[in-house]
Structure 1
Amino acid sequence: MIRIVCILQVMLLLNAELVLAQYKRETKPWWPTREEILARYEKAKWLDSAAKTAVYYQSVQPVWEENGTGFWFKRTHPDSTVEFLKVDPTKRNRFKAFDHQRLADSLSFVAAKRLTADRLPITVTTVNRTANKIEFSYDQKRWQADLGTYSIEAISLNERFGRRNSNGTGWTRRSHWMSFGTDALSPDKKWKAVVVNNNIQIQSENGEIKKQLTTDGTDTATYGSVAWSPDSRYFIFYRIVPYKDSVIHYIKKAVAGTSRGQHYAIPYKQPGDPFTTYEMMVYRLGEERPKKIQTPIMDFFSAPYLHFSKKSPGKFLFERVDRGHQRFRILEADSETGLARTIYDEQSSTFIYESRIFTDYNLDKEELILSSEKDGWRHLYLLDISSGKIKNPITSGNWIVREIDSIDYKKRQIWFRASGIQPGEDPYYVHHCRIGMDGKNLVVLNPERGHHQVSYSPDGNYFLDTYSEVNKAPVITLRSPVNGKHIMTVEQPDTSRLLQLKLPAPMPFTAKARDGITDIWGVVCWPTDLDSGKQYPVIENIYAGPQDAFVPKSFLPYSEMQSLAALGFVVVQIDGMGTANRSKAFHDVCWKNLADAGFPDRINWIRSLAQSYPWVDTNRVGLYGTSAGGQNALGGLLFHPGFYKAAVSACGCHDNRVDKQWWNEQWMGYPLGKHYEEQSNITNAGKLKGELLLIVGDEDSNVPPESTYRVADALIKQGKHFEMLTIPGMGHSDGGPYGRIRKRDFFVRSLLHLLPPQRN
């Protein structure tokens, strides 16, 4: 705790000095000499190296014991020696997990390579307390060690003594969508539903054909995706009309041993492309023919996961999201009648975030838990399946449920993660909670201010809690999931080397959004050797993808942003409106509106920062980003040229019609409308003002490279000047180490008007 207090004191003193300095002298723009900028390059290079080993003991990666209560973790010391420690919650202490010398001697013998006890290069993956054995990886192989005899043997995956250690959440989320194979064995193992020549046959266990169910299947309209009911009386299958996605093409241009480019292509679904369709059918053993389930043909995603009723085995539930992401339903089908009824129907005038829909089925009680943002915040509800009515909200309030960690139907309790639940702090911080399914007895298990990351023990009796803030070192403790009670401190970070670097700490900052009410949160990295009498250019690290929020919340001792700041820039990162993890209204700003990218909020935020800290120069503002951030970076120059003056755009999805289907239709909607074209960076290329560097990997399979090439083509046709860096063989990336060097050199030229180091 002493180390933590020290770093906080230094940070507070530094920020206090900066605040006081603004009143002492008038600021003026900083225009360094070339000698000054070359010295800063050297300082940044030194910091990049020194900061790698500036903090020790800041994280614990637990390997929980199987058939035990404690966990193991690997501890690396400043001299690069390592030790493996065991934490015993019952004794509230930690100690060496095994005899390091004996294990080193045994492993040296079987691996035919001398290893030392204090530098064991192994990764422990499984600990079985009852068997007193461990599994670990070394030299790209898996090994098993008996800690009684210290005998070691190499093992294959099917020889393992136990299950792979989980992440401790106690919860595994099933996908909503599940396609099945072509050869499905019934649960009682008496029958097989087999796809032969695009048609369905029923075969006995020895392969004898008992019934030919369909005969009209073809390559263009086949049958398949079979799922049996648990009682083996029914099975569901589909008449499938497959759609083969079009491809995007690549040329490998630098293949060793060849003198020609090598062509390859990959399937790639873009917005508006059709999907394979599924028509649901059911067959009951002994009946003459199958029947259709009376529900519209599914033309979005694949065959759904089926949840068979325990009270009425012929009935089953399935989920459906309509294309366009504005309607989500849970339906119940009856195998006897072929009829289907809607259990739950949620519709939105904007979007429903499909990949964050949570459902869990308690079929013994004919109920299910589901998430919804229908009241403006993401919360959990308990639904009665038979009536289709909400029994009760489980969570409520002006905060959101982020994830579900565990569900205990016997105790009627849920463990989950929440953001915004603790008043007076950053609303993105995650806290871990427990609540009754009746919505009562809410307990915040780790209420301490900060962003919390947790690992639960497999038996649910303990959890490891690591919490920190961007400028505050982690606290790592073991706690009780019953009431959050502190059991013991597991680790204490050593930040002494970080303090010696005299780096300004990253600083959280808030300002009002465009509505003048909502708080916008971001972080600032100040230049090293900051002179408060001078004004420094601003560079925004931007990513406005609506799928999440992106400003770091955990301890950030050093980052690329701080390295860039060392050159003499104020580097910021902001979560504007339209990003996730806040209210539904906050998120809805992105709907059919990706070009907005929260820019009004970001610009207000940077201007507010300058009002509080006069050494922030809002006349020299640049931005950089990758992927959606690449789209945003160029968008800043196109749509807000009065504020942003320079941008580095890496592998941007510059036109949402060219990028992947699932991401773009989620936010831009379906069917495609004029707004797709109107918001395209390609369509708006003629508006370019300021300086631009485009970066693209020519083998990007995430965002097709033609997205960047097409915007380059449009810029050329408009007579615009820009720089472009194509990296052969690179996939979806910011340009890698070379691209990052080119990025910082670009900003030195464009915002400081200086030549970077001569690198040739």
Structure 2
Amino acid sequence: MRQSARNLLMGSLLLATWHGGARAADTSLDCFAQSAATQGYSLGLPRNATLTPDGRGALFLRSGPRDTALQLWLYDIASGQETALTHVASKDEHLSVEEKARRERARLTMTGVTAFEVADNGRSAIASQAGRLLKVNLTDHGVTALPGDQWGAPRLSPDGRYIAAVKDNDVHVIALDSGKSHRVTHGGKPDLTHGVAEFAAAEELDRHDGMWWSPDSRSLVYEEADLSGVEEHYIADPENPATAPVAFRYPKAGTPNARVRLGIIKRHGGHTRWIRWDNNAYPYVVRVVWSKETGRLSLVVMNRAQSEERVLDVNPRTGRTTELLAEHDPAWVNIAPTARTSGLSLPHWLKDGQHFLWASERSGKWQLEMRHADGTLDHVLTPANLPFASLDDVDEAHHAITFTATPDRMGTAVYRQDLDTGAITPLATDAGLHQVHFASDRHDAFIDRFNAADGSVHVALRDHDGRITATLPDVAQALPAFNMQFLTVGAQGYDAMVVRPVNFRRGQRLPVILSVYAGPGYKEVLRAPRMHAEKQCLANQGFIVVSLDGRGTPGRDRDWERAIRNDLIDAPLEDQVAGVKALGQKFPEMDMNRVGVYGWSFGGYFTAMAVMRHPELFRAGVAGAPPVDFSDYDTAYTERYLGLPDQDVAGYRTSNVLTYAANLSRPLMLIHGVTDDNVYFINTLKLTRALITAGRPYDLMLLPGTHMLSDPILRANVSIARMRYLKDHLPPVRSGKSG
């Protein structure tokens, strides 16, 4: 018998209190606790590793194997010795509302020292910890706390002498030698912010910066965001009813965005020179690039419909802009990939000032291009069979670039290309995911964070030819045994993953769980087992867990991804159903009469749709934090795929879970954090109202917290509750037949 929503909620509240006993009684559940406590066995691995400018060492962040407190470490390559440069305590960190929101946008769950930058002279670095700034002497390893706290978004100047940081919604500049600071911008307030990226940029445009130093360290570009026209949403904390609700400016689809403009100001302050472009026609600032090589300042801006993108050349003395090139797409223009760790954004100007590098998917696949200074195409650099993923290094002295590509869709690889001949040399091509970092002005070695197909993760130093010369030490817990298979399946050649129990025996017939995202911007099937540790825990409970990438997901080609334009659900649903059935035909151990589905965020949305629209296949579902009605979701995401609500009523209705709520005939559990500031709880509330109105039963688990499940106990218990729900509603065969 299915539990009522009220009874299940009671059960979820009790779960945390008896979890310890459950672990003692059932050790098979330890897998979920281990995976959650280690964040998928990623805690204890070096993060954000970079070579020091002299090439003698590497700096990186690392926590313990089961804690989230990051410290800054220095690794000496010659001796193999590592030194902890910081020893900060993070148990009692007190973060501002703004900092909590920034971390939510960046999906940052770590504490302690969460970021650092190294001065080009290699003698010092800065580190940030919960609003405090630390000056680190790399010669004697001394650490000095700079005056003040609640500093946000710190940026070290290229000459290593100053820090630009945000406090009280204004930009301040701090002298690194004295620690003295002064306010550079004025008039900042909660509805008029300076120096930080607004919600749309940080959440959906992959731009987390709001200020940029000039190459000579004398000036700054900063963002001013006027939020006064953005809808105000309030989030109350039910656990603390005496606390006033927190106000957030949330740009819901079809409503006003923040009004953004960019100003140039001297380091010491004074008059702001505003950069002039048509920010009514092109309100989204996608990238700001102030070229170290040439001093040229470039902007990439986009219209609200995201069908047009402009690359603008800026005159820093006057603020005037000149258009260099434009990208158009009748569906939407994807933003050019950026090297997240090396900081090489596009456009990237060459030192001669006569050429720049740019990436486009105009041909249907991402390719890197050489462009003349006026924006016209010189020639295409990277071949279509190596879809471009990021520009990692430009070595002009040797006329070469290093780039990351996706040669097989399920992994990445690193290559060097000769700019004169076009010849390509593989540097790191072992199966898995490679994330590369080159230090500033060093082209002879690089860091490769390699998430391997065998389940290991190595943060390695590679030389000019790609040979591994050192591996940074880690303290991560080893990944337990896994049983994962990666393949393509079906007439469409869907990328697929099949996870079986580690003790699977031939002849078994097990229920099937589709672990799904299926939405735009995210690829689920990647040949990196450590990323899928929790799926292995679920499979070990007696399931076969599968995942697929269908139309709408990235990494294939333009038309594949844009098949969801004006309809977010039909093509993904059709492909996931076809893919699961194709796997069932291929593998007789999959009991196709016992199929469940679960997912989070867009995956939660898909789950609800799947059990409502395909009950003949999906017998039960668990939907986490689902965006039910996309008119309640944010502008930059929703309008990219569906346009404005009043211009595509049919698309919004087709893509709305509420349209199909009355069809629910299978068990469905809804899980949602009541203080979620990404997918607001109103989504699940609307769905429960629709289900009650239609007389359809459902189950509900309410969570404290936001969109991320960062608390390990909470995450483990949610995973266990999900597993038990699916096991209860996909019972084992009792009469020799599945039913």
TM-score for the superposition, normalised by structure 2: 0.68
CA shift digits 1:23-67 (9 cap, x unpaired): xxxxxxxxxxxxxxx999824224446778999999555563443
Secondary structure class of the residue paired with 1:354: coil
Choose which of 377, 383, 390 in structure 2 pairs with 1:396: 383
Aligned-partner Cα distance in 1 for 2:81–2:596: 51
Aligned-partner Cα distance in 1 for 2:692–2:615: 19
Partner residue, 1:689: 665
CA shift digits 1:336-385 (9 cap, x unpaired): 99997643222112211137483223485233221110001111112223
CA RMSD of aligned residues (A): 5.5
Partner residue, 1:28: none
Choose which of 590, 600, 624 in structure 2 pairs with 1:650: 624
Partner residue, 1:743: 722
**Pairwise mapping of residues 471-550 of structure 1 onto structure 2 (< 5 A)?**
471-474=454-457, 477-481=460-464, 483-487=465-469, 503-512=481-490, 516=491, 518-550=492-524
Q: Structure 1 residue 505: deviation in Å?
A: 2.0
Change (3 A) 1:507 1:304: closer
Change (3 A) 1:509 1:336: closer
Secondary structure class of the residue paired with 1:274: coil
**Pairwise mapping of residues 697-708 of structure 1 onto structure 2 (< 5 A)?**
697-708=673-684
Change (3 A) 1:453 1:621: same
Does 1:268 find its partner at 2:268?
A: no
Partner residue, 2:235: 250
Secondary structure class of the residue paired with 2:443: coil
On the 8 A contact 2:133/2:146 being kept in 1, the answer is no
Partner residue, 2:702: 726
Q: Structure 1 residue 646: deviation in Å?
A: 0.9
Aligned-partner Cα distance in 2 for 1:455–1:229: 22
Return the letter of the residue paired with 1:523.
M
On the 8 A contact 1:134/1:147 being kept in 2, the answer is no
Choose which of 309, 327, 332 in structure 2 pairs with 1:328: 309
Secondary structure class of the residue paired with 2:640: helix
Aligned-partner Cα distance in 1 for 2:127–2:293: 42
Secondary structure class of the residue paired with 1:636: helix
Partner residue, 2:401: 414
Q: Greater shift after overlay, 526-535 or 711-720?
A: 526-535
Partner residue, 1:372: 360
Does 1:599 find its partner at 2:573?
A: yes
Secondary structure class of the residue paired with 2:730: helix
Q: Greater shift after overlay, 564-573 or 293-302?
A: 293-302
Partner residue, 1:381: 369
Change (3 A) 1:166 1:541: farther
Q: Structure 1 residue 676: deviation in Å?
A: 0.9
Q: Structure 1 residue 543: deviation in Å?
A: 1.0
On the 8 A contact 2:517/2:606 being kept in 1, the answer is yes
Change (3 A) 1:144 1:360: closer
Q: Structure 1 residue 406: deviation in Å?
A: 2.1
Return the letter of the residue paired with 2:433.
H
Aligned-partner Cα distance in 2 for 1:49–1:720: 33
Secondary structure class of the residue paired with 2:570: coil
Return the letter of the residue paired with 1:440.
G
Q: Greater shift after overlay, 59-68 or 246-255?
A: 59-68
Q: Structure 1 residue 303: deviation in Å?
A: 10
Does 1:88 find its partner at 2:77?
A: yes
Change (3 A) 1:712 1:355: farther
TM-score for the superposition, normalised by structure 1: 0.67
Aligned-partner Cα distance in 2 for 1:347–1:306: 21
**Pairwise mapping of residues 271-286 of structure 1 onto structure 2 (< 5 A)?**
271-275=253-257
Does 1:460 find its partner at 2:443?
A: yes
CA shift digits 1:585-620 (9 cap, x unpaired): 221223222113623332333223323321111111
CA shift digits 1:439-485 (9 cap, x unpaired): 7122221133333233435533222435454445456654223x324
Q: Structure 1 residue 291: deviation in Å?
A: 13
On the 8 A contact 1:83/1:96 being kept in 2, the answer is no
Aligned-partner Cα distance in 1 for 2:513–2:581: 13
On the 8 A contact 2:596/2:621 being kept in 1, the answer is yes
The percentage of counterpart residues that share the same residue type is: 20
Choose which of 612, 620, 624 in structure 1 pairs with 2:586: 612
Change (3 A) 1:567 1:236: closer
Choose which of 20, 26, 30 in structure 2 pairs with 1:42: 26
**Pairwise mapping of residues 46-85 of structure 1 onto structure 2 (< 5 A)?**
46-48=30-32, 62=49, 64-71=51-58
CA shift digits 1:652-688 (9 cap, x unpaired): 1111111111111122234640201221001221222
Change (3 A) 1:235 1:74: closer
Secondary structure class of the residue paired with 1:657: helix
Does 1:679 find its partner at 2:655?
A: yes
Secondary structure class of the residue paired with 1:589: helix
Change (3 A) 1:64 1:633: same
Partner residue, 1:155: 144
Aligned-partner Cα distance in 2 for 1:659–1:739: 24
Does 1:434 find its partner at 2:416?
A: yes
Change (3 A) 1:280 1:64: closer
Aligned-partner Cα distance in 1 for 2:413–2:523: 16
On the 8 A contact 1:277/1:299 being kept in 2, the answer is no
Partner residue, 2:527: 553
Partner residue, 2:433: 451
Partner residue, 1:300: 283
On the 8 A contact 1:634/1:649 being kept in 2, the answer is yes
CA shift digits 1:502-524 (9 cap, x unpaired): x4522223213xxx2x4322222
Change (3 A) 1:382 1:158: farther
On the 8 A contact 1:128/1:134 being kept in 2, the answer is yes
Aligned-partner Cα distance in 1 for 2:470–2:708: 43
Partner residue, 1:667: 641
Does 1:353 find its partner at 2:334?
A: yes
Partner residue, 1:582: 556
Does 1:641 find its partner at 2:615?
A: yes
Aligned-partner Cα distance in 2 for 1:509–1:339: 52
Aligned-partner Cα distance in 1 for 2:144–2:212: 35
Aligned-partner Cα distance in 1 for 2:448–2:403: 14
Secondary structure class of the residue paired with 1:621: strand
Q: Greater shift after overlay, 237-246 or 744-753?
A: 237-246
Secondary structure class of the residue paired with 1:391: strand
Aligned-partner Cα distance in 2 for 1:229–1:47: 49
Partner residue, 1:213: none
Change (3 A) 1:627 1:83: closer
Secondary structure class of the residue paired with 2:364: coil
CA shift digits 1:377-424 (9 cap, x unpaired): 1111122233x420111212133211221223444432221101xxxx
Secondary structure class of the residue paired with 1:682: helix
Aligned-partner Cα distance in 2 for 1:658–1:349: 24
Q: Structure 1 residue 306: deviation in Å?
A: 8.3
CA shift digits 1:706-741 (9 cap, x unpaired): 011101111111111111122245555497344323
Structure whose alpha-carbon radius of gyration is higher: 1
Partner residue, 1:7: none
Aligned-partner Cα distance in 2 for 1:144–1:306: 27
Secondary structure class of the residue paired with 2:727: helix
CA shift digits 1:175-201 (9 cap, x unpaired): xxxxx98999xxxxxxx999999xxxx
Q: Aligned residues, how many?
A: 614
Secondary structure class of the residue paired with 2:604: helix
